[in-house]
Structure 1
Amino acid sequence: MELKDILFKIRKVFSWSLIVASVYGFFEILVSYFGFGFLYPTLKLFDYFPFLEVAIHNGGRISSIAYEPPFFAIYLITIAGWMFSYILTEKSSWKFLPGTAVLLLTFFSGSRTGLMVVFFQLIIFGTIVFKDRKNRSYLVKSLYGFLIVFSLLLLFNGEKIINAVSEKIVSLDFIGNLKSNKSNQSRFGLQYASLQVFKENPIAGVGFGQQSYHSRTHYPSWATKDNYEFDLMYKNKNVKSFPPGYNLYTRLLAETGIIGFLILVALIYFSLMQTKIVIKKSTGEKQILSYIVLISLSGLFINWLQIDTFRIYGVWLSLAILMRLSNDKKIINE
């Protein structure tokens, strides 16, 4: 494929998926967050879509087309760079809508990791835009657009929005919430157990897929005490699925030791360095694709701090595009 085709065709697929996710998410926000229950029958129409089953989550969080809010956050992290790129390639005023939709959906998803990672991706994109004088006006227009949308939300239901912002800020205090938030206790407890397995097997680990067998004897009392998640899932022998490690890096330390961990770190380092090299030596669609890869990989690598699976397709899509970019005109990392 030509680089232009890679950029526009893949982005179009993500754009259409975002339209569906945004429509679903809009009704879900109105029903679950603002309490417009009369719209629930309209939301239930999405049950006719394949692989979708409409469900309302507690606490006003939304998951849109995904199974749960954390998985919806992974989807948003994956497409964020692609949606931000519209600002660089399009001339019409609607070019700000895809990026704005990603930010709003991330906010209402309630995912703490999603909020932090997408905000970090936004900072990377803002830095890219600010470095180019021609594009600096886009950054200013984006800020104005965000303020307009936020103002409209305040007019619509100001108290609810202010409370929501306050709750999101408080939720980002992971350490402060450790005593009160069972989800945080479980995640940190399982990661702690993985590190204990690594301490016992530091060189080569205990082998792929063996983490759960070894970490179950290392669950800390501060995580398991009065924690229904461990009783219901992680220590329940009737649950067939293995307890997750909630962190790919601690999982690799436990299963492959320092050897496997360093291999992954090397992959991350060289992929990011190669992306920066391609950015410096390219223009046009090639440079835009390089920006997207940088934003996507940066966010997805951070997201691996809270999920322990390699099955994050955005990573491998980005690496495949990076290989295509690197082979174009034989750009070599000297």
Structure 2
Amino acid sequence: MAVRSLPLAGGWADLLREGIVGEGARNQMARVFVIVSLVPLAFNDLPSILPVGELSRDGFIYMVPFLTLYLMWSKDRIIIPTPLVYFVAAFSVIVLLGVAVNYNEIIDTHFKGRSGFSRVVTQGMSFAFGVLIAFVFYNLTLRGFVGSIVLGARAAILVMAAFGIIEVASWYSIPGLTQLHDLVSIVVHSGTPHYPQRLRSTAFEVSWTGVMLTFFFPFATINDGCRKKVILFYIAIVAFLVILSQSRTAMLVFGFQILLISWFYFRHRVDVLVHIVAGSSIAALLLVSNVKVYTLVTETAFNVVEYGRFSRSETAEENVSNITRSASISAGISMLLERPILGVGFAQFGFHYPRHLDADDFRSYEVRAAVKDNDQWPPSYSLHARMLAETGIVGYLAWLGFIVVYLIRSLHRTFRVQDSSTSVHLGIAMTLSGWLLLGFSIDSFRFFGGWIAVGVALALQTAGSFSYRRWSAG
């Protein structure tokens, strides 16, 4: 392998035009394939074909093998990122120790037709698949496919928006669009065909719409030399999807990401910041001064928080989702307190869930269904609570530390260092911070977009350490 320098004076977009590793990034068909491969990431309610547990309904699992084959067949060098190897080794050792300590329980336990060991295997597959994704996109980034990842995220948002439009049309029984929605839903929503009037687009439920957008939105708004109007266009589309989803999780993450991107673009424009503050203050005063508008806004906000929707029906009672989420998090914390070092064992949350519930938790029919003999598996809701419960403090800190290191690095590069990769680091920071926020109200363990961001972050670190050298066969 020969090494020769490649100055990137033209900015990070040269990663797209020239590449860092080999000549593969110049193949336009490969670029198109990377773009197209990201669109299925938006679909996670497809017909189950492969026997891979939860992963079987994710469209993205069918694309990653082809991306991996592309890396293997191309003439360029495949690089394994050392930090990823260290993390996988450390986390795997912790998981194995936890399984060994709880081995007798894991082998003997059965619940709802599943064994403890089978859950270890299926969740281990999810983790391994995430690591594979990080590895693949690490190498794709080094080969100059950052621009293709950006375009893929934008394409996925457009697909979600298009399906969202026909979904809204189906609410009002608009001829043609309603039939089209019902027809497409046979495939797109094969697992959950019936759903309330909340925009879930291509995901199986609204919270996972927020999970998808946690990756798509930051990468779609990376400045690849496009006009600012393009970025504003995608912000508007995502706002449409988030608002109509009525998902509190999606709104929380989107709001935080908007704050990050706004601070990035306007932090040196004091005049703009002053106008924003002044405009917000005036709007708040006008809101308070008009009793009807104030009542409407506050009631809507209360309904979203309490009932998970904009309006409260006459039969609405306490939000069941709040009770279920609180019960799951409390159960996870209870498991942690019982076994704080290595936890109850990787993927064992559901088996221990019933005996860590309080009597008050059974107000939720979802909690009652989770402990009965049926197919509904006990939900963990919080990734942080689940990781603490299953891997203990040691495993949780290993996982959290790995993500936080690259989050802090990207935040530093975004706001302290202005260079060719600044906009990409902003996308990484928005995605990883969104991943951590998601973890407080949803189990986002198989958030593949987060692993893609990790792969890109690792590649930018490698590229920086080699002064953007170019590796080519010779």
Range into which the TM-score falls when normalised by the shorter chain: 0.7 to 0.9
Q: Could you say which residue in structure 1 is the equivalent of 2:351?
A: 213
Mapping for residues 38-57 of structure 1, pairs under 5 Å? 38=175, 39-47=177-185, 51-53=188-190, 55=193, 57=195
Matched residue SS, 2:355: coil
* Matching of residue 81 in structure 1 with residue 211 in structure 2: no
Alpha-carbon contact 1:24-1:65 (below 8 Å) kept: yes
TM-score (norm 1): 0.79
- The AA in structure 2 aligned to 1:3 is L
Structure 1 residue 55: deviation in Å?
Answer: 4.5
Paired residues in the alignment total 301
CA distance in structure 2 between the aligned counterparts of 1:31 and 1:128, rounded to whole angstroms = 39
The structure 1 residue matched to 2:342, chosen from 190, 195, 204, is: 204
Matched residue SS, 1:172: helix
Q: Could you say which residue in structure 1 is the equivalent of 2:383?
A: 248
CA distance in structure 2 between the aligned counterparts of 1:125 and 1:203, rounded to whole angstroms = 38
Instruction: Give ranges in structure 1 of 5+ residues lacking alignment.
Output: 144-158
CA distance in structure 2 between the aligned counterparts of 1:129 and 1:95, rounded to whole angstroms = 12
CA distance in structure 2 between the aligned counterparts of 1:166 and 1:3, rounded to whole angstroms = 49
Structure 1 residue 289: deviation in Å?
Answer: 0.5
Structure 1 residue 230: deviation in Å?
Answer: 2.3
Q: Could you say which residue in structure 2 is the equivalent of 1:13?
A: 152
CA distance in structure 1 between the aligned counterparts of 2:359 and 2:388, rounded to whole angstroms = 22
Pair 1:166–1:96, CA change in 2 (3 A): farther
CA distance in structure 1 between the aligned counterparts of 2:198 and 2:300, rounded to whole angstroms = 12
Structure 1 residue 329: deviation in Å?
Answer: 2.8
CA distance in structure 2 between the aligned counterparts of 1:331 and 1:164, rounded to whole angstroms = 53
Mapping for residues 63-212 of structure 1, pairs under 5 Å? 63-86=200-223, 89-91=225-227, 93-133=229-269, 166-172=299-305, 180-212=318-350
1:184-220, Cα deviation, whole Å (9 max, x unpaired):
1011101101111111111221111222222311112
Structure with greater Cα Rg = 2
- The AA in structure 2 aligned to 1:245 is S
Matched residue SS, 2:356: coil
Which structure dedicates a bigger proportion of its chain to helix?
1
Structure 1 residue 310: deviation in Å?
Answer: 2.1
Alpha-carbon contact 2:382-2:440 (below 8 Å) kept: yes
Pair 1:78–1:169, CA change in 2 (3 A): farther
Structure 1 residue 317: deviation in Å?
Answer: 0.6
- The AA in structure 2 aligned to 1:12 is L
Q: Could you say which residue in structure 2 is the equivalent of 1:230?
A: 367
Structure number with higher relative contact order (C-alpha < 8 Å, ≥ 6 residues apart):
2
Computed over aligned residues only, the root mean square deviation of the Cα atoms, in angstroms, reads 3.3
- The AA in structure 2 aligned to 1:107 is I
Pair 1:164–1:93, CA change in 2 (3 A): same
Q: Could you say which residue in structure 2 is the equivalent of 1:156?
A: none
* Matching of residue 302 in structure 1 with residue 437 in structure 2: yes
* Matching of residue 271 in structure 1 with residue 406 in structure 2: yes
TM-score (norm 2): 0.57
Instruction: Give ranges in structure 2 of 5+ residues lacking alignment.
Output: 1-12, 17-143, 280-291, 468-474
Alpha-carbon contact 1:129-1:136 (below 8 Å) kept: no
Alpha-carbon contact 1:198-1:205 (below 8 Å) kept: yes
Matched residue SS, 1:13: helix
The structure 2 residue matched to 1:287, chosen from 408, 422, 430, is: 422
